[in-house]
Structure 1
C-alpha cells in the first residue's frame, strides 16, 4: 500500500476477488475502476523507479566517457571543433580524397576495441591533417559501443601546460596527471608531433624531458593517431629509437600511414 496516494486510500474498498500473482492478496476497488492488487502496484512502481535509476546511471556513464573529448582535450585551435568528414573539402580523384577515404576506414577499425595499432598522418602544414584526425576521433567517440573515452591533444600546448605547472603545484596539468590521463583513454590524437622541437634555436632534437613525457604516454598505449609535419627520417633525428618504436606500434603491419605529398596548404592566402 506504500506506493498509493493516501487520500485515494480513503475511498478504496476490498473486494471478494484475489490477485492471480499474489493469491493471498485481496483486490481493491476504487470508485468505478477495475479492481487492482496493491502489491502489484507497488512492485510496478519499484520496477519503474529502478528502471529510471538504471537509465540515469547509463546516461551518466555515457556522459562520463563521451564528454571527455570536449572536457579534457587540449586544443590550440577552437575552430577544429567544427571539423568533420562532411566538411573536409576534396576534389574528386585527388590525394586528399584518397586520404579521407583511408581515414574513414581506419576510424572504422578503431570502433573495434581489439584493434591495437597507431596511425601516422604526415605531410606539410595546412593540408588538413588535424581536420582528418579530429574527424576520425569524433566519429569513434560518437559511435563506439560500449562508450569509450577519446581525447585530442596538441603536443605543443600540452607541453606548455605541463611546464607551467612547475610553478603552480595545484595545476591540473601536472606531468603525472597528464601522462596518466593520456595513457588511459581508448583513443588519443597527438597533434603536430615534432613541432615542439622545431622551435628550438640550437638544434632540432627534442629535449630529454619532452621525450620522457611522450614516452610515458605512448608506452602505455596501443591506439594513438599522430599528426606530424615530418617524415620518418626527420623524426629519427629528433627522437630516440625507444620513443620512435612506441610511435610506430602496429603502423606498418596495419597500413596505418596517411601521407600527403601533393596537397597544397589550404590555409595559404593567395595575393
Structure 2
C-alpha cells in the first residue's frame, strides 16, 4: 500500500461499514486503492504523538472482518461453548426451557436492529443452559447483522483474572483501561456468570470494590449487553451497589428483557 498523507483525508468518502472500536462511526475510503478506515482511530493514534506512517497500520488492520472479533477476542473459560447454538440447545415440548429458547431467539432478532438499545438478563441455577443461550444469541447477531458489527463473549471470572495478571506484566493487552474501553465499545457484548466472582470469597458475598469498578466502567459505556447470572434481583442487590445495578438493568424491564429459569434442572447433574 502506498503512503497516504493526512491531507488526503479531505477527499475521504463515507461507506456503509462501521468501526469495530467506535460502533457508531462509519468507515471512510480514500480512492479505490485503500481499505476503509475510521477517522476517529486515526485521530486517536495521531494524538498519541505517532507520526503519519502509523496511518498505514490503521488501514491494514481493517482487513480483519468484524465477524472475526467474536472468535479471536472473546474470553471463554469453557471451550465447549464454541459448539453451542440454538439448534443444539435441547428442550422438551411445553417446558420452560422451550419457552426460554423461543424468547432468546426473539431478543436476538431485536439486536439485529442497531437502534435497539436494551440489556438482557438471563438468570437461573447453574447448568440450565444460560451461557449456551447467550452465546447462541451472540452468534446469531454476529452472523446476520447488517452492516457487520463487533460481537464479544466474556467470562467475568476469566476477565478479572487476566486484568489482575496484567498488574505484573506491563506489556499485557489485558490492562484495565484497555479492556474497559474495548468492551465498552463493541456492538453487542455478553458478560457471562455475573456474581460468581463474589461467591468464591469466603468472608463475604459482596463483590470487591475493584470488580465493581471494572464492571461499572464497562456497563456505563454500553446500551446493548446480555448478562448471565445464577442470582435473582434480591441476591444481586446484596452484592453490587445501586449505581452498578442501574447500569445492568438498562432497558430490561421496558423491553421484557429477562429470561428466567425457575423449573429447569441442572443438565450437567443428570449423568447417572
- Please report the RMSD computed on the Cα atoms of aligned residues, expressed in angstroms: 1.8
Distance 1:175 1:267 in 2: 34
8 Å contact kept, 1:74–1:153: yes
- Whole-angstrom CA distance in 2 between matches of 1:114 and 1:57: 23
2:127 aligns to what? 126
Q: Could you tell me how far 1:269 is from its partner in structure 2? A: 3.9
**Counterpart of 2:104?**
103
Normalised TM-score (structure 1):
0.78
Shift of 1:64: 3.0
How far 1:192 sits from its partner (Å)?
Answer: 0.2
Match of 1:67, SS state, is helix
- Can you give the 5+ residue segments of structure 2 that lack an aligned partner in the other structure? 1-30, 38-60
Q: How far apart are 1:63 and its partner, in Å? A: 3.7
SS in 2 for 1:267: helix
Between structure 1 and structure 2, the one with the greater Rg is 1
Cα deviation, 1:97-123, whole Å, max 9, x if unaligned, reads 000000000000000000000000000
Structure-2 residue corresponding to 1:232: 233
Hey, what does 1:179 align to over in structure 2?
Answer: 180
Query: For residues 125-152 of structure 1, what are the alpha-carbon distances to aligned partners after superposition, in whole Å with 9 as ceiling and x for unaligned?
Result: 0000000000000000000000000000
5 Å matches for 1:1-271?
63-271=64-272
Give the number of equivalent residue pairs: 220
CA–CA distance in structure 2, aligned partners of residues 69 and 167 of structure 1: 27
Indicate if the aligned counterparts of 1:62 and 1:147 stay in contact, CA closer than 8 A: no
Name the counterpart of 1:35.
none
Structure 2 CA distance for partners of 1:184 and 1:228, relative to 1, 3 Å: same
Following TM superposition, by how much is the alpha carbon of 1:65 offset from its aligned partner in structure 2, in angstroms?
1.0
CA distance in 1, matches of 2:183, 2:84: 22
**Partner SS state of residue 191, structure 2:** strand
Q: For residues 10-57 of structure 1, give each alpha carbon's deviation from its aligned partner in whole angstroms, at most 9, with x where no partner exists.
A: xxxxxxxxxxxxxxxxxxxxxxxxxxxxxxxxxxxxxxxx88x68x76
| Distance in 1, Cα, partners of 2:99 & 2:62 | 36
Shift of 1:193: 0.4
What do residues 186-239 of structure 1 show as CA deviations (whole Å, max 9, x unaligned)? 000000000000000100000100000000000000000000000000000000
